[in-house]
Amino acid sequence: MNRKLLIRKLVYLSLMLPTILGLYLMGHPSTTKALGGQGSAGGLLARQRDRHRISQANLGEIDPTGEAMKLAAFGLRGPAATILWHQVHQQKMREDWTKASATARQITKLMPNFVEVWKFLGWDISYNVAVEFDDYRDRYYWIKKGIHYMEEGFRINENEPRLIQYIGWVIGNKLGTADERLEYRKLFIADDDFHGTRPREQRDNWLVAKEYHARALEILDREPERKATVTLLLFFSQSPMYQMDYAQALEEEGTFGEKARTAWLIAGREWRDFGRRPLPSSLGREHYLAEYEPLQQQRALALQRLEELTPGLREQIREEKRAALSSAERAAIDTPPEERTEDEMRIAVTVEENKLRVMHREVANRAPEPYREEAIKLAEQIDDYDARLFALSRDREVVNFEYWGKRADLESTKEAVEARRLVHLGLRAFDDGELQQARSLLDRGYAAWRKAFDLQGGRFHSLTRENEIADDIGETFRVYYRIMQLMGDEGDFPPDGFPLMDVAEDYRRMMISQGMAPPELQQ
């Protein structure tokens, strides 16, 4: 009996040894060199983690407490995190912020490399918890606490660009766009605990946001494979936008002259650099936002050459297609658009798009024999240009590329900086009850704006319609009209000789169309 038991144990052992050896070869951890000795790359799993940079040593600092909690969860980290998150919600409902913060920290111990947890909890503290306090200094404390929370997460995930980018976004937008932004920005600049040795002139929240974003860019340059984790179009536009926000904040707070102008010049340069940065497109190849205009010119030249090779052919093909239409279809397209019935409008749109449209390839295929090959190549080029221009136009619209480039160019002119300075002083004079001085300053400011808009042959005229500049100037029109009333001027607004007559009329129409015009602008 004992002999059989021994044999059975030996069989079990012989079966277990290959399994144990396999597990060791697969899973034993890597070791580092010490005292001149040789380190080990570890087993297959350790080598794969290092190769793909997903081991904790690759991701960032190792937190012993977190590692212990993960072991204690026995593989049930997900359910445990869900239970803790429910506790956080209950503690927030009771406004027990200290316990809620402590419980939230336990979640990050269980799931330290889940970036969205750090982002969400940091945002929750900076936005949702902070607003529960009445004093703006208390709110600033909790905003900063949320930022520090995410910075702790970044130390554990130091190769994760999304987290450091998001920290910069909170610093910029929460401190720079809130109703209490003037107070927040002052507290932030004076916060030695947060900035440490950072020079005071670099402590503006928008510049610090830009600094954090630069660190995210460094990660992408160092580890290009992480570009797949972000939307590159928006990601690369963020840094010059922070610079523009900084320039706007300076002028909002009364800083003008060369400092404001330099801030806008830097913004314009960085926006142009962004336009020259290669970006993925919907066509599966890279493109540059700044190549839109050159491509338009190349397309126009190709189309012109195609028309030269096939004079009158496009119109001939269209007439042939028109002749093939039914009488109802011809009647619909012959009726002036403003006189069409609903059915005729539907028919006309369908016919123009599907039956009368002449494709470039159709023209090229019927080109005279000596020029047909060239015409077909030109048609293919034009179609390619159209696809590229369409993809570019969509991406440019997402970031409002043309507007912000033109805006930076305008704002960096001496005329625009002076216009903003004079209008700012005029509004302050009105607040102080100095009506005559306020009107004089506003008149001079509007005249300076007129000069700025008329620069470069009127290139900036489009900026006066339905955008931030129009809103900024339009809001001051209400003050100007109020000054006119208080000074006994019963005339209509805008008065005769007003330098921004076109801007005032555009603003009036826009506000009326949106149902937002005050009585003084409806006259």
For residue 338, the one-letter residue type is E
Question: Length of the chain, please?
Answer: 523
Predicted pLDDT of residue 4: 74
Let me know the angle formed at the C-alpha of 466 by 461 and 467, rounded to the nearest 5 degrees.
85
Question: How far is the C-alpha of 143 from the C-alpha of 136, rounded, in Å?
Answer: 10
Greatest alpha-carbon span in the chain: 120
Question: How far is the C-alpha of 214 from the C-alpha of 209, rounded, in Å?
Answer: 9
Predicted pLDDT of residue 36: 47
User: Of 205, 214, 109, which is closest to residue 161 (Cα–Cα)?
Assistant: 214
- Residue 404, CA atoms < 13 Å, CB-side half-sphere: 29
Query: Residue 40 — φ and ψ, nearest 5°?
Result: -125, 140
The structural domains of the chain, with segments of one domain joined by +, span 64-280, 290-403, 413-521
Q: Kindly calculate the radius of gyration of the chain based on its CA atoms and give it in whole angstroms.
A: 33
Predicted pLDDT of residue 467: 72
The enclosing H or E element of 134 equals none
For residue 342, the one-letter residue type is E
Instruction: Give me 160's structure tokens.
Output: 């994760």
The DSSP string of 69-121 is HHHHTTT-HHHHHHHHHHHHHHHHHTT-HHHHHHHHHHHHHHSTT-HHHHHHH
For residue 239, the one-letter residue type is S
Question: How far is the C-alpha of 286 from the C-alpha of 232, rounded, in Å?
Answer: 11
Instruction: Give me 227's structure tokens.
Output: 């570009």
Burial class (CB in 10 A: 0-12, 13-18, 19+), 187: buried
Query: From first to last of its 523 residues, what are the pLDDT tens digits of the chain?
Result: 567 777 777 777 777 777 767 666 665 555 554 444 455 666 665 555 555 555 544 444 445 444 444 444 445 566 777 787 778 778 878 877 777 777 777 777 777 877 888 888 888 889 988 998 999 999 999 999 999 989 999 998 888 999 999 999 999 999 999 999 999 999 999 999 999 999 999 999 999 999 999 999 999 999 898 888 899 999 999 999 999 999 999 999 999 999 999 999 999 999 999 999 999 999 999 999 999 999 999 999 999 999 999 999 999 999 999 999 999 999 999 999 999 999 999 999 999 989 999 999 999 999 999 999 999 999 999 999 999 999 999 999 999 999 999 999 999 999 999 999 999 999 999 999 999 999 999 999 999 999 999 999 999 988 887 678 888 898 899 899 899 989 988 777 888 889 999 888 877 777 676 665 555 555 5
Predicted pLDDT of residue 54: 52
Predicted pLDDT of residue 76: 58
